[in-house]
Amino acid sequence: MGGKDVLDYLDSVAGIWGFDVVSRAGLVTPPGMPERQAQENDRNLDRAAREFFRALAEGRERRPGLRSVIIFHGQRATFDELADDFPADHAYWKEQGWLDPGARYYTSARVNPFYDAVGRIVEWVARRRIRRDLAAMR
């Protein structure tokens, strides 16, 4: 597994948690690192820091993609339907307002209406499956 694979994985996890990843930097830091590698690391960090600062200064929320919206709705179904199994998650989601019927995403960023519709269908299917599985366990 290389640095790009690790960054892709971390990007994916952060996205699942609702974070907006605006930049990435993978550094190579072997013992006795050559000066050339240290300079490349510095350039990568500088580029990532500038991109991060630009995103902060811009202050605009990026619109979530379809995958992020689907994950949001799937998690919402899970933490709402399984409140007894995940009480801390349920309380947190409720406190954030994400369990409210009108919630479309973790943030107030605009969500593509088609993505929202697909996410709500995924949520509906997930809720039905969870309820069916819980009934079968009883």
pLDDT for res 102: 93
pLDDT at 126 over 90: yes
CB 15 within 8 A of CB 21: yes
pLDDT at 1 over 80: no
Please report, rounded to a whole number, the percentage of residues in the chain having pLDDT higher than 70: 100
Please report, rounded to a whole number, the percentage of residues in the chain having pLDDT higher than 90: 64
Please tell me the distance from the alpha carbon of residue 52 to that of residue 64, in angstroms, as a whole number. 18
Please tell me the distance from the alpha carbon of residue 106 to that of residue 124, in angstroms, as a whole number. 18
The string of pLDDT tens digits covering residues 39-92 is 999 999 999 999 999 999 998 888 899 999 999 999 999 999 999 999 999 999
